[in-house]
Amino acid sequence: MLTNRRILLGIGGGIAAYKVCTVASTLAQAGAEVRAILTEKAQAFVTPLTFATLCRHRAYTDADFWHAIPDRSEASLRYRPLHIELGEWAEVLLLAPLTANTLAKLTYGLADNLLMNTVLASRCPILLAPAMNTDMWEQAIVQQNWQHLTADPRYHWAEPGSGRLACDRVGAGRMAEPATLVVHLQSLLYTQGQRDLQGKQVLINAGGTQEYLDPVRYLGNPSTGKMGVALAQAAQHRGAQVTLVHGPLLGIDPAMLVGMKTVATTTAEEMQQAMLSNFPRADFIFLAAAVADCKPATYHPQKLAKQDLPNPLPLTPVPDIAATLGQQKRPHQYLVGFAAQTGDVVAPALGKLRQKKLDAIAANPIDQPGTGFGSDTNQAVLLDRHGRQQIIEPCSKLEFAHRLLDFVQQHPPDSH
């Protein structure tokens, strides 16, 4: 999703500028073409040489403002202003850290440095990553500027997190983590900034469930929750209000979930209750969790000695979340399931689609390389109740999520 894509970084004057070094390095190592503009204040925290090294290309400052560069589209030497060339070159622009000063300039369209002139000379999607002291962030005028800017469809944002800031203040204002920014940039490159899920409520479950025999033993599976989290991120980046109901997540930074409602559960029964509670408000529902099929018939509140373990172990079914939601689904709702299969994936998935009254299903061949539990990639055959089929070749789980969102929106709920 990043190879040969053109990404422009605008670095502002704040201590969080050091995080953008990781963003630049990650993007460049993934094959992207990366350029960086540092404001005058940014150079008090990081240097142009640092970004030139990480981006594999010279970094720009206000000292370069009036230095024209060769037109990349011309065979002959025709020179153009730098801010025009960079603005037209970029496919996506990241402003990080976004300071209160730059936020105000954006709001009023000021252009008093290279970065701001480049913003006004560009037409690509812009990702904003605010970072500032909590009291600054919560000032009424800053919030007014923020609301004004985020109402513009060209601007997208990675909400600041909360925690201990560099000034030792505890509260909101921490810039989004580099991994979060990289994922969001990938989404914007895929969607070209379209918010086609604006105003929609998306409900997703993710991760495995754990059904306990006693306080230390349980029936479970190796699901990490990566696919469901990728779906949640993709939907959020496309403008949806996302609720993620999840079991234990493995190897996933909670910072990746900032800005969405999350409900942590452990057992299938807890997950079902959380899904039913949030189901009535949802427009799209994705059942990406690996929910247990059964549980120990009896829970023992004290750890059983090895010699006391039941043999055989009596089991009892757990609630069928997909079937329950399929029975309660309203006409405006679109319910999507997942079927992790070995061997023939299509026939069992079609059976599950019809039996559980789903609108669509993703049939995953988990016996293929790079597509099992815990992998960073996925592939599937997508099927819907109208008989459509679409193959998603192996790709990252984020790209898979976007392709699935494209598929379900080709037959939106309102068209049923």
- Distances, alpha carbon 73 to alpha carbons 7, 60, 78, 122, 377, in Å: 18, 20, 9, 16, 36
| Active-site option among 21, 55, 167, 395 | 167
What are the pLDDT tens digits along the chain (416 aa)?
A: 899 999 999 999 999 999 999 999 999 999 999 999 999 999 999 999 999 999 999 999 999 998 777 766 655 556 789 999 999 999 999 999 999 999 999 999 999 999 999 999 999 999 999 999 999 999 999 999 999 999 999 999 999 998 888 888 899 999 999 999 999 999 999 999 999 999 999 999 999 999 999 999 999 999 999 999 999 999 999 999 999 999 999 999 998 999 999 999 999 999 999 999 999 999 999 999 999 999 999 999 999 999 999 999 999 999 999 999 999 999 999 999 999 888 999 999 999 999 999 999 999 998 888 887 889 999 999 999 999 999 999 999 999 999 999 999 987 665 44
pLDDT (0 to 100) of residue 414: 53
Active site residue 167: yes
| Domain coordinates in residue numbering, the chain | 6-191, 201-415
Percentages (nearest 5) of helix, strand, coil residues in the chain: 35, 25, 40
pTM: 0.93
Enumerate the β-bridge partners of residue 282.
none
Tokens encoding 335 = 């319910």
Residue with tokens 């970065």: 115
Look up residue 294 and give its amino acid. C
The answer for residues whose C-beta is within 8 angstroms of residue 85's C-beta and 6 or more apart is: 69, 71, 72
Q: What is the 3-state secondary structure (H, E, C) of 141-196?
A: HHHHHHHHHHCCCCEEECCCEEEECCCCCEEEEECCCHHHHHHHHHHHHHHCCCCC
- What's the token pair of residue 135? 């009291």
Contact 109, 141 (CB under 8 A): no
Question: CA of 52: how far to CAs of 34, 44, 87, 131, in Å?
Answer: 9, 16, 18, 23
Neighbours of 34 (CB within 10 A): 25
Per-residue 3-state assignment (H helix, E strand, C coil) for 227-271: HHHHHHHHHHHCCCEEEEEECCCCCCCHHHHCCCEEEECCCHHHH
- CATH number corresponding to 201-415: 3.40.50.10300
The per-residue pLDDT for 71 is: 67
Place of tokens 């925690």: 163
CATH of region 6-191, choose from 3.30.830.10, 3.40.630.30, 3.40.50.1950, 3.40.50.300: 3.40.50.1950
Give DSSP secondary structure letters for 67-114.
Answer: --EE-TT-SS--EE-HHHHHHHH-SEEEEEEE-HHHHHHHHHT---SH
6-191 and 201-415 in the same fold: yes
Q: Which residues pair with 206 in a beta bridge?
A: 246
